[in-house]
Structure 1
Amino acid sequence: MPLVRVDAVAADPQQLDAIGDAVHAALVDGFGIPADDRFQVLRGAAGDRVVYDPGFRGVDRDDGAVFVQVFLRRGRTDEQKRAFYRALAKHAGLAGIEPRNLVVALTENGLADWSFGNGEAQYLDDPPS
């Protein structure tokens, strides 16, 4: 179960939905997660302050910048991660987001790092396959 957080510098609610759809489609394509495994926090930055370097690592980004954090269980290969990044760029592009504006961070964790409610560690009691 990946948990996704998106902060978009200048996105309105419709754009946030499109970004969320793109990230989810990329998770399904790149990592093979189930289509109904969708947990996202989508935020536009209209009232917030977002700071970014417009040319970091040689990528020319602007106020269309979108920050994507994905928290997921440990175990994906580097090639799966590359496939996810490519799929996200493709799906985001189809949603009108310029791939150059995507900044992505994957954070891996273990089974004990998840609770789905009731103060329980469900993955420890019933590990996913």
Structure 2
Amino acid sequence: MPFVRIDALRGDSARLDALGRAVHDALVDAIGIPPDDLFQVLTSHDGASGTVRYDAGYLGVRRDDDIVFVAITLRGGRTVEQKQALYRRIAELAHDYAGTEPRNVLVTLTENDLPDWSFGDGVAQYVDGARHLVTAPA
């Protein structure tokens, strides 16, 4: 059930696709998201009509214009260790798939609960009594 937003400066469609695959594969590998649970928005910012801003050395990490922002909204309940494994796997796969240096991968997680999701038709599918109830969301 994760919803993923990826923002990259001057990312062409091939790079955005590779980053999307990297994040999805990391979610599957590190925290057991089902492979068909894919909901992503991939956005490139051209530096003119849209851009990204960042501190090039915050917390001692050297960043440059290859930076990628990954925002993941998902159901709460993962351990600190699972989150750390996810961050590592995203950075590894972003490098493997898209050539993005791990130092340029910034990830945020936002957790919520089952009633906070509607997958269409104006229905909260994970709520008791809802149409198409799914019993074990990831």
TM-score band w.r.t. shorter chain = over 0.9
Asked if structure 2 preserves the Cα contact closer than 8 Å seen for 1:64 and 1:97, the reply is yes
Whether the 8 Å contact between 1:16 and 1:43 is mirrored in structure 2 is: yes
Question: How far 1:127 sits from its partner (Å)?
Answer: 4.8
- The residue that corresponds to 2:125 in the other structure is 122
The residue aligned with 2:103 is 100
Distance 2:93 2:20 in 1: 10
1:55 paired with 2:57, answer: yes
Q: Relative to structure 1, is the Cα distance of residues 59 and 128 closer, same or farther in structure 2, using a 3 angstrom cutoff?
A: farther
Percent of aligned positions that are identical = 57
What does the per-residue CA deviation read over 1:14-67, in whole Å, with 9 as the maximum and x for residues that have no partner?
A: 100000000001100111101111100000011302111111111000000000
Task: State whether structure 2 residue 73 is matched by structure 1 residue 66.
Answer: no
- Name the CA distance, whole Å, in 1 between partners of 2:65 and 2:8: 9
Q: Which runs of 4+ in 1 moved over 3 A?
A: none
- Aligned letter for 2:101? E
1:110 alignment partner in structure 2: 113
SS of equivalent to 2:33: coil
State how many pairs are aligned: 129
Larger Rg: 2
Unaligned runs of 5+ in 1: none
Where structure 2 has 5 or more consecutive residues not aligned to the other structure, the ranges are none
In structure 1, how many angstroms separate the alpha carbons of the residues matched to 2:17 and 2:116?
Answer: 27
Residue 4 of structure 1 corresponds to 4
